[in-house]
Structure 1
Amino acid sequence: MATSVKPGATWKKTNYPSIRNPDFPVEVAGFETFNNAHLAAVILGAPFVLVTILKLPFWSYPVLTILLALPIFAAYFTYGSQFALPLNNRVQTPGKKVEDYITIVDPAFQKYKGKNRIPMETFFEAYFDGKL
């Protein structure tokens, strides 16, 4: 299947055997949306808030900062990668119908034929119940 990329896209196909090219490359959030100031504010601000709320002595701030820096760092990146929006979507997707990807077994789900979208929770429950 050949992937067609819209004009102006920055994605280039690689010819390295060890690197698999994606079927539909979409530019997602990366360094353009990352902000070092936000990361520093969260890493330095969260321990300060804890020290202030719990009324701990000031010497506990550097200790809490050292102890919480790595978990806060991980949480920051997890949150950022889960909820960041794609920068652009210049890749032309196939636009196929739902039936090209799944087989609808239950007649109650016939309303989702064609290009109608299935809500994620409904899809999840129906898939594991064997209705799709």
Structure 2
Amino acid sequence: MLTNLLSLTIPWILKIAIDNLKNYPASQPQLIRYSLLLIGVSAATGIFRFYMRRLLIGVSRKIEYSIRIDFFSHLQRLDSSFFESNRTGSVMALITNDLDAVRNFLGPGLLNLFNTIFTFISTLIIMFLISIRL
């Protein structure tokens, strides 16, 4: 959420910089100040985004590991008739492909869903703050 807010501040900073520089002659200290502010916000956004993704992907990997352990324990409790009627390749495909899909949903999937919803709502709020008529 913090990364999305920081990303949304970049256009706001550009708006303020353009408005200020449009009304007054551009001075080098002003340009440097706005440039450093944009670089700082961009760097902070990148750092927060890196650690957020690292955390979410780590959590999704731990969940995947736990599900794999539970699934393997379940397979060990099954009768031999299950393994006679099901091919080894289909059981292995179930373990790998389906659990990868679950991990991808829990990590990047949920991250993208929440980012999209939060960014959409935040963008609407900022647009209304800038000009409700537009």
Same-fold call, TM > 0.5?
Answer: no
TM (normalized to structure 1)?
A: 0.34
Larger Rg, first or second structure (1 or 2): 2
TM (normalized to structure 2)?
A: 0.33
Which structure exhibits the higher relative contact order, with contacts defined as CA atoms closer than 8 Å and separated by 6 or more residues?
A: 2
Please identify which structure carries the higher helix content: 2
